[in-house]
Every structure is written in structure tokens, then in C-alpha cells.
Amino acid sequence: MRYSKLFIRTRKSSPTDEQTVNAQLLVKAGFVNKLMAGVYSYLPFGLRVLNKIEQIVRGEMDAIGGQEVLLPALQPATNWQQTGGWDSIEVLFKIKSRTGKDYALGQSHEEVITPLVKSYVESYRDLPLAVYQIQNKYRDELRAKSGLLRGREFDMKDMYSFHLTQADFLEFYELVKKAYLKIYSRCGLEAKVTEASGGGFSNKISYEFMVLTNAGEDNIIYCPDCNWCINTEIAKVKAGDNCPKCQSGKLKTARAAEAGNVFDLGQKYTKDFDFYVLDKNGKKIYPIMGCYGVGISRMMATIVEKFHDDQGIIWPASVAPFQVHLVSLSGSEKQAEVVYKALVKAGLEVLWDDRDESAGTKFADADLIGVPVRLVVSNKTLRRGSGQVEWKLRSGNKVELISEKEVISRLTA
Ligand code: ATP
Ligand code: MG
């Protein structure tokens, strides 16, 4: 991608109406643009990051047998009335049509997926089953002040599974937990798994996946020695106590962002929609459901909260908008184009800053945007031989002069 052709611009200063680092940096660096509180447009760089995270999530959901669908965001009120959500869910956006009919914007999709699966599944032989989607969710959040951490429109992966027995459900539940930990680690994040109550859904146990960050809105208590972790909201322990699991660790408190969670929904929705299958003996079974969410746009924000410095964002390679940020300084454009084409031909994702700007401006933008590798082609590098470029990692200071071939081999290794 050639920088000179992009319609977006980085900003010289941080937006004054944003309080969190994620929103300040993502807006300043031109990844997103705020339409109103909690609602953002994704610009070319931002969309590339979002797509990368989505691809990681998709891969891990496919690997455990999830089937991807895309469900409507606009939904009839009747489905929500059937489960009681219409009156009980405060964040539900409600829309009145000019025909007088009521609609809701999906804040989660149990009300759509349950009747959908019911319409296809007839026999116990059709279960178990796991269906997921990656889609915008709409929630009338009161405090949408944390940038992409808390949107009123935000990107989520939500999966729903249907099982004949509790044992089968628990087996799948464990599989999803493992897949989630893989997702976070592939995105450069370390998540702690808390034990939490099932929220409004049931009194069953659920798990939250918490990433430690001061920008997060949750408080957790965790053991630094073992994996034990709990949300302070429901905790009976406090900082300094001995860990109830390993007994030896001293519990600590931390701020965290919930990057995902998994719920045991029991038979709440299958009963609400009268969705049952007949077992071998012709007996009715209401399937047990699980639901599993990953906050994709919240993860993007969490990554920025964790990986930045005073100059800008430092993307982990797995979710970076580009693999390489190529900077050409004046007089070296022709040579830079040769390098650019060679890298693109090798299948690399390259942002080429080919603008007529000063070296200072270009370097500042490279640091702000945060692509993991910066390459510079200049008269200085050209004097050292054609095809020589300066290689520098965003996360370090070391500058090396290497050949274009070496760049390709390092990045395709
Ligand atoms: P929270 O307690 O943070 O409001 P939640 O319990 O309402 O989250 P779920 O309904 O289970 O969350 O949604 C699944 C995931 O979607 C969450 O774990 C979180 O990562 C993400 N998420 C939830 N609400 C938002 C939001 N308003 N903006 C961005 N991401 C969100
Ligand atoms: Mg919520």
C-alpha cells in the first residue's frame, strides 16, 4: 500500500475527547475515527488489524468444529419477548418501525440462533453442534468512555453450542477454554481465567478471560504462583490472603479487561423456544446450551493498551496492519520502488511511505503507526550498494544495513 494514495492522515496531536490510550493512539494514528461516543469507523489500517484478529479467532473456532454463519443484527421484538430479554436487558437497543412494529438490535444472539437451530435439528443424532459468527453487537452502554474497550457498536465473535448431556457440554466447554487461551496468546496477550457467576443467565459457573491492563474496567484477584484468579465483584478473598488453590501464593489485585467469556446457559433458551429432540427411546430432551464470546474490537484496544510507548503503537507481528513499513527518503524513490515491488512479490504486506515529506515526519509516523519492522531506503543506504536497506524493529533501537533478499528471508522464515 502506498501511503501517498491513502485518504487517511495521522494527526499531530491526540484527540482531546478521548480519555484512554487505546482511543487516543488509534485515532491519532488513523486506525479509527469516532462517529460518536462508543461508535467508531474502521479505517484502512484499523480494518486490517481487526481482520487479522478475526482470522485468528476464526481459525481456532474452526479447529474445534465451529460452523460459521452470519446472523441478522436487526431482529423482531417477539423473539426477545419470548425469553424475557425485551423487558430485562437494559442495554438492548429497541427500534420502532413506522408500521408500529418493534425491533431490537442484537446485543447477543441466543434469541436468533436458538430458533434457527431448532428449525433444522430434528433428531438427537444431529447433536452436538457448535455455530459461531463474527459480527457487530449493539448495546446501550451508559459509560462508553474507554474507546474501543467499551463500544455501543462493537465487534464480537459469539459461538453457541448445543448438547444432549451435561457431560458432553463440559467436554466441549474445556475445548473452548483451551482454544480461547490460544487465541489470546497468538494475539500477544496473556489472559487469566477467572471463575465467575453466570451473570443474568443462570446461577451456573462461567469463566472470564482477563487481560491485565490498567485501562480495564474489571478488578481481579489472582495468585502470582498458580493460575487461580477471580473477579473481585464476587470474591470472598482479598489481596494478601493465601491463595485458596495452591495455598502458598499471596493473592494480588489488578485491573483487567475482559477479553472473552464462556457461559453455561443450561436449558434456558431451548426451553423458552420449545426446542427439543427425541432420544433413542422417543423421550424429549431439551438441549443444553453454551455460549462463548470474544470481544474482538476490545482485544484490539487491549493490545494497544499493552503495547505502546510515548511515540505510538508497537503491534505484535500477528495482528500488525503490515509486516513492513518501508520509508523512502528524498532522492531514493526509484530504488525504493524496486524494493517495494520485490517485497510485495514475495507475498509481504508492505506500507510504503512514498510521500513527499521530511525524514522526521516519516519516522514519527512509522513509530506512531507501529508496524513491527521499519525499512529505510535513502541516498545513504544506496551508497552502500543497490538493494541495501536499513532494518529496524519498532520495539528496539538497533539499526542494521541488510540486503533486500535478507529482508525477505527474515520475514518469510
Ligand atoms: P462487560 O462485563 O465488559 O460488559 P459482558 O459480560 O457484557 O462484558 P458478554 O456479553 O459476555 O460481555 O460479551 C462477550 C465479550 O464481548 C466480552 O467478554 C467482551 O470482551 C466483549 N464486550 C462486551 N461488551 C462490550 C462492549 N460494550 N464493547 C466492546 N466489547 C465488549
Ligand atoms: Mg456488558
Q: How far is CA 90 from CA 93, 94, 98, 206, 302, in A?
A: 8, 10, 23, 21, 25
Residue-level pLDDT at 198: 45
Residue 195 corresponds to which amino acid?
E
Any atom of ligand 1 within 6 Å of the Cβ of 107: no
> Once rounded to an integer, what is the mean pLDDT over residues 377-388?
84
| Overall residue count recorded for the chain in this entry | 413
Any atom of ligand 1 within 6 Å of the Cβ of 258: yes
Is residue 201 predicted with pLDDT exceeding 70? no
What separation in Å is there between the alpha carbon of 94 and the centre of ligand 1?
19
Asked, as a colleague might, if the bond just before 244 is cis with ω within 30 of 0, I would say no
DSSP codes joined into one string, 278-302: E-TTS-EEPPEEEEEEEEHHHHHHH
Residue-level pLDDT at 382: 81
Confidence of residue 196 (pLDDT cuts 50, 70, 90): low
Any atom of ligand 1 within 6 Å of the Cβ of 147: no
> Once rounded to an integer, what is the mean pLDDT over residues 35-63?
98
Is residue 246 predicted with pLDDT exceeding 80? yes
Burial 200-214 (b: 16+ CB within 10 A, else e): ebeeeebbbbbbbbe
Residue of 32, 42, 107, 298 to mutate, ligand 1, most atoms within 8 A of C-beta: 298
Is residue 199 predicted with pLDDT exceeding 60? no
Is residue 372 predicted with pLDDT exceeding 60? yes
What separation in Å is there between the alpha carbon of 136 and the centre of ligand 2?
14
What separation in Å is there between the alpha carbon of 394 and the centre of ligand 1?
31
> Once rounded to an integer, what is the mean pLDDT over residues 133-139?
98
Q: What are phi and psi of 123, to 5 degrees?
A: -120, 160
- Pick the ligand that lies closest to the CA of residue 154: 1
Any atom of ligand 1 within 6 Å of the Cβ of 157: no
Residue-level pLDDT at 197: 55
Residue nearest atom 3 of ligand 1, based on CA coordinates: 258
What separation in Å is there between the alpha carbon of 107 and the centre of ligand 2?
9
Q: How many CB atoms lie within 10 A of CB 65?
A: 12
Q: Which three cell numbers mark 237?
A: 478473598
> Once rounded to an integer, what is the mean pLDDT over residues 240-248?
93
CA distance 373 to 315: 10
Q: What is the pLDDT of residues 275-295, one digit of tens each?
A: 999 999 999 999 999 999 999
Any atom of ligand 1 within 6 Å of the Cβ of 315: no
Residue-level pLDDT at 383: 82
> Once rounded to an integer, what is the mean pLDDT over residues 296-310?
98
Q: Taking a C-beta distance cutoff of 8 angstroms, is the pair 181, 160 a contact?
A: no
The lowest-confidence range among 168-172, 336-340, 387-391 is 387-391
Confidence of residue 205 (pLDDT cuts 50, 70, 90): confident
> Once rounded to an integer, what is the mean pLDDT over residues 127-134?
98
Residue-level pLDDT at 203: 59
Confidence of residue 386 (pLDDT cuts 50, 70, 90): confident
Please state, rounded to an integer, the average pLDDT across all residues of the chain: 95
Is residue 28 predicted with pLDDT exceeding 80? yes
Q: What share of the chain has pLDDT > 70, as a percent? A: 98
What separation in Å is there between the alpha carbon of 359 and the centre of ligand 1?
42
Residue-level pLDDT at 87: 98
Residue 217: exposed, middle, or buried by beta-carbon count in 10 A (0-12, 13-18, 19+)?
middle
Q: What are phi and psi of 63, to 5 degrees?
A: -65, -25
Atom number in ligand 1 closest to CA 294: 15
Residue-level pLDDT at 108: 98
Q: Across 318-398, where does the E strand assignment appear?
A: 324-328, 350-353, 373-377, 388-393
Q: What is the pLDDT of residues 61-113, one digit of tens each?
A: 999 999 999 999 999 999 999 999 999 999 999 999 999 999 999 999 999 99
Q: What are phi and psi of 132, to 5 degrees?
A: -140, 165
What separation in Å is there between the alpha carbon of 201 and the centre of ligand 2?
13
Is residue 206 predicted with pLDDT exceeding 90? no
Is residue 173 predicted with pLDDT exceeding 50? yes
